[in-house]
Amino acid sequence: MNIRKILFLCALLGAFVLAFSFLPPGMLSLDSVRTHHQALQATVAHSPLQSAALYFAVYVVVSALSIPGAAILTLLGGALFSVWQGIVLVSFASTLGATLAMLVSRYLLRDWVQQRFSQQMDTVNAGMNRDGAYYLFALRLMPLFPFFLVNLLSGLTRLGVWRYWWVSQLAMLPATAIFLNAGRELGKLTSLRDILSPGMVIAFTLLGLLPLVTRWLFSRYFHSLH
């Protein structure tokens, strides 16, 4: 490993330490957010721009470092900001954080993985070049695939950064809107399971698979014509 990657790892470790110093375990929990809800609302009312900027920055850090709590932060955004403010803040913060996490994975791991599994990665990269946007869209919508895992796996491929950004932002919008709306009734929530019911999980999965299935059907149809 070269000196640049060692320095980068040290910086990344330092960012983790700082993040956990400012966000100790338990702070990004439903109980903690409910406890400080009124105080945070007063802060936002007094300093709306500074509060929005701080919220955005914290969300980016949590997403980029894959710290558990992004869902809680989204609920908090719904409780503190208007619907459209929340959508703009969370959508861009989560996408920026996801893109940074993907780039970290790409910088630290991709060369080693590409060399170690060159034949398999050639097949993966060919598929990603052809259908990468569709696969990413499906993975982002399926609650079964954790946020950090999609970032990590995408970094190992040659999927373009711009494509990664817009597909992620588009695919994460439905869940963002649902969690922001749920945050407006923060006091009534007892668990994150109150938001994502089994039926909603199935609906998200089907929505994510729709572009892939449609593309497959079109390819089969046009192939049969020839």
User: What's the pLDDT at 48?
Assistant: 92
Counting residues of the chain whose pLDDT is more than 90, the rounded percentage is: 27
State the average pLDDT over residues 100-113: 86
State the average pLDDT over residues 160-164: 91
72-82, pLDDT tens digit by residue?
899 899 999 99
User: What single-letter DSSP state applies at residue 180?
Assistant: H
Q: Which residues contact 29 (CB under 8 A, 6 or more apart)?
A: 69, 72
* Residue 181 CB neighbour total at 10 angstroms: 15
Confidence of residue 222 (pLDDT cuts 50, 70, 90): very low
User: What's the pLDDT at 94?
Assistant: 95
Cα 44 from Cα 33, distance rounded (Å): 14
User: What's the pLDDT at 161?
Assistant: 92
Cα 194 from Cα 188, distance rounded (Å): 10
Which of 26-30, 84-88, 151-155, 192-196 has the least mean pLDDT?
A: 192-196
Nearest to residue 123, comparing CAs of 93, 157, 92, 169?
157
The answer to whether 154 and 105 are in contact (CB under 8 A) is: yes
Q: Could you list the residue range(s) of the whole structural domain that residue 78 is in? A: 3-225
User: What's the pLDDT at 218?
Assistant: 53
The answer to whether 128 and 94 are in contact (CB under 8 A) is: no
Mean pLDDT of the chain: 81
In angstroms, the Cα distances linking 164 to 118, 151, 177 are: 22, 10, 20
User: What's the pLDDT at 225?
Assistant: 47
User: What's the pLDDT at 37?
Assistant: 85
Confidence of residue 215 (pLDDT cuts 50, 70, 90): low
In the block, tokens 């954790």 appear at 146
Cα 19 from Cα 37, distance rounded (Å): 21
User: What's the pLDDT at 219?
Assistant: 58
Residue 36: both structure tokens together: 């400080």
Residue 141: both structure tokens together: 């919508």
User: What's the pLDDT at 137?
Assistant: 84
Letter for the amino acid at 5? K
Q: Which residues contact 34 (CB under 8 A, 6 or more apart)?
A: 186, 187, 189
Nearest to residue 91, comparing CAs of 194, 20, 165, 144?
165
Domains held by the chain: number:
1
State the average pLDDT over residues 175-194: 77
Q: Is the pTM above the cut of 0.75?
A: yes
Cα 66 from Cα 74, distance rounded (Å): 15
Q: What is the largest CA-CA distance in the chain?
A: 66
User: What single-letter DSSP state applies at residue 190?
Assistant: -
46-73, pLDDT tens digit by residue?
999 999 999 999 999 999 988 888 888 9
